[in-house]
Structure 1
Amino acid sequence: MTAGGDLRPPARLHLGGIAERVPEPRLRGRREEGEGLHVAHDPAPGSVVGLGILDGGGAALGCAVANSQAPTIDAIAACCARIDAMCAGLDEAGWHRPTALPAWDVKDVVGHLGSLESMLLGLDEPAHEPAAIAHVRNPLGHLNERMVDRRRSWSGADVLAEFRETTGLRLEQLRNLDEAALADEVPSPRGGVVGQGDFIAIRLWDYVVHELDIGEALGLDQDAAVDTPSGRRVLDEMLMLLPRGLAKGGATEGTCVALDIGPPLPRRTAASVQAGRGVPADPAAGKATLHLRASPVVFMRVASGRRDGATAIDCGEVVVDGDAELAARILTAMNVIP
């Protein structure tokens, strides 16, 4: 490739100064995207299974596959393929469409994804300091901005070429990890450390959210973007953060919040505050003191920090029955994307 330099796969993965031994990738074709959640169908009426999330047909949505990350890796591969398809025919105006991320256009988002996978492969990143960092909020944001800004002089074609190459190598590397390697601890972008397998799941969130960033900037159908196995999985996992939203959003003892997601991915979940903690509640019990309704796209944009919760409520994108200020705080607290 013309801009990214030598992409020979190294034997070590680096993240936040910690190196983990990983197998070198052997190039193979990508797999098709697979489901990342087990779904238990036909629960008893009014029952709560797992964390209490019911889809539109009454099915309870459970947890990600525990013993293998293959479905998650396949889901990331499918996101990469869709991002590639969205960007392959872009002209310069398309590459420079602004996204919901401050100071980032479409090319910056694709450059971020490609450069981050390059870093995770252990490839050298030349020293670079961006001129403008007023929008950067934390050390991880500064690292991302340094890598994105270094690529701003590249053409869109070169940014996309790096994205294709580094994501392909990284996906193959991840598919070659054994279960012991998946259990190894690595630094988490959310703070602390997580198992390598959990880190891969965090990467899926990043891809799904950035796929929406790009599609929104290009004016594409966002309902179609979320109605994919990866989109449905991330939506369900975001909904599982409702108890956290109550706890960190300042909900008082006894508060019960119901959250309804509309078509094309109808879901209902609920949580309450008990003994000072946010806990899952029966979404079918009908005891909510605060009720929120949103489309899956709007909820995912708010829950990923791309859209302000209070603004979404004020303009009617999120419909609230009850305390709108509390609802905005809960939505804000549900965001765990740094």
Structure 2
Amino acid sequence: MAGLAGEYARFAALIDGLSPEEWRTATRCTRWEIRDVAGHVTANAVDTVDGVVGTRTPDEQARAFRDATPADLAARLRAAAGRLIPFLESLDDAAWDRPAPKVGRSIGNGVHTLWYDAFVHGDDIRAALGRPGDRGPGLLASVQWLRDELDRLGRGPFRVLLDGAGEYAIGAGGPVLRGDPLRFVLVATGRADPAEFGTDATINVHLR
């Protein structure tokens, strides 16, 4: 919960104050400008706290906020986080294992997914603006989410040995993939060439 709260605060600070030109900068997300990325992340938080998460596609979420200003979206995200985090804090331990609205996921995994989503889309914005990637707590959280997702999807087998981020097994045995944790996040989400880690496109968790 603390990690998600911090990620939303960083994301809101990232978009707040962007110029109109920056707001309309193309990103590596197909057909999305920075304003679309920001709209999707904000809508995820809003939909979650309103209890309707999963009812809109990412493109629908982006369109819903496409005409908002950076300051408006930053305020909306802060307001949604201000409602969401206290709600999550009210849940007992058993609630985190209960099924989430999305089939095959728990409440705990759903919250972890929100954290990962905000982190990786924050990196999309930084990359579009030519800024360095964030290597804060969201990076390790995203690596761990991707490990769980690769395992859930039955990918592998392989082991991932990342600089300063530990070693993770996907399945039993297989080759060892070594490298930088942020590059791993980009490769495992289809944002960078899997050849960087000596593997193929099956490492992309969004490939179905």
User: Structure 1 length normalisation: TM-score?
Assistant: 0.53
In the alignment, which of 43, 54, 63 is matched to residue 149 of structure 1? 63
SS in 2 for 1:245: coil
Partner in structure 1 of residue 45 of structure 2: 117
SS in 2 for 1:186: coil
2:141 corresponds to 1:233:
yes
Pairwise CA RMSD of aligned residues?
2.9
Partner in structure 1 of residue 183 of structure 2: 298
In the TM superposition, residue 241 of structure 1 has moved relative to its aligned partner by: 5.9
2:12/2:74 contact within 8 Å kept: yes
Q: Which amino acid aligns with 1:182?
A: W
Q: Which amino acid aligns with 2:156?
A: L
1:110/1:163 contact within 8 Å kept: no
In the alignment, which of 211, 221, 243 is matched to residue 132 of structure 2? 221
In the TM superposition, residue 268 of structure 1 has moved relative to its aligned partner by: 4.1
Question: Which runs of no fewer than 5 residues in structure 1 stay unpaired?
Answer: 1-72, 125-139, 248-256, 272-277, 282-287, 321-326
Q: Which amino acid aligns with 2:143?
A: L
Greater fraction helix: 2
Q: Deviations over 1:153-201 (max 9, x none)?
A: 222222222112112211222122233443432222xxx2433223212
Partner in structure 2 of residue 35 of structure 1: none
Distance 1:173 1:88 in 2: 25
Partner in structure 2 of residue 6 of structure 1: none
SS in 1 for 2:57: helix
Query: Which of the pair has more CA radius of gyration?
Result: 1
Q: Percent identity?
A: 23
Distance 2:62 2:8 in 1: 18
Distance 2:78 2:7 in 1: 12
User: Structure 2 length normalisation: TM-score?
Assistant: 0.81
Distance 1:337 1:206 in 2: 16
Q: Which amino acid aligns with 2:48?
A: L
2:30 corresponds to 1:102:
yes
In the alignment, which of 250, 258, 261 is matched to residue 162 of structure 2? 261
2:134 corresponds to 1:206:
no
Number of equivalenced pairs: 205
In the TM superposition, residue 149 of structure 1 has moved relative to its aligned partner by: 0.8
Q: Which amino acid aligns with 1:178?
A: D
